[in-house]
Amino acid sequence: MDVVEERAAHMEMKRLNAAGLKAAGYDERNRKLVVETTSGTFEYSNISPEVYRRLMSSPTPASYYREFVEEEFTPRRIK
Domain boundaries, the chain: 3-77
Instruction: Report the alpha-carbon distance of residue 76 to residue 66 in Å, rounded.
Output: 15
Is the pLDDT at 1 greater than 60, yes or no? no
Amino acid identity at 54: R
Provide the 8-state DSSP code for 45. Answer: S
In this prediction the pTM is: 0.86
Please, where are the H alpha helices in the chain? 3-10, 49-57, 61-64
Sheet holding 32-37, edge to edge: 14-18, 21-27, 32-37, 40-44, 76-77
Is the pLDDT at 35 greater than 80, yes or no? yes
The model's confidence at residue 17, banded by pLDDT at 50, 70 and 90, is confident
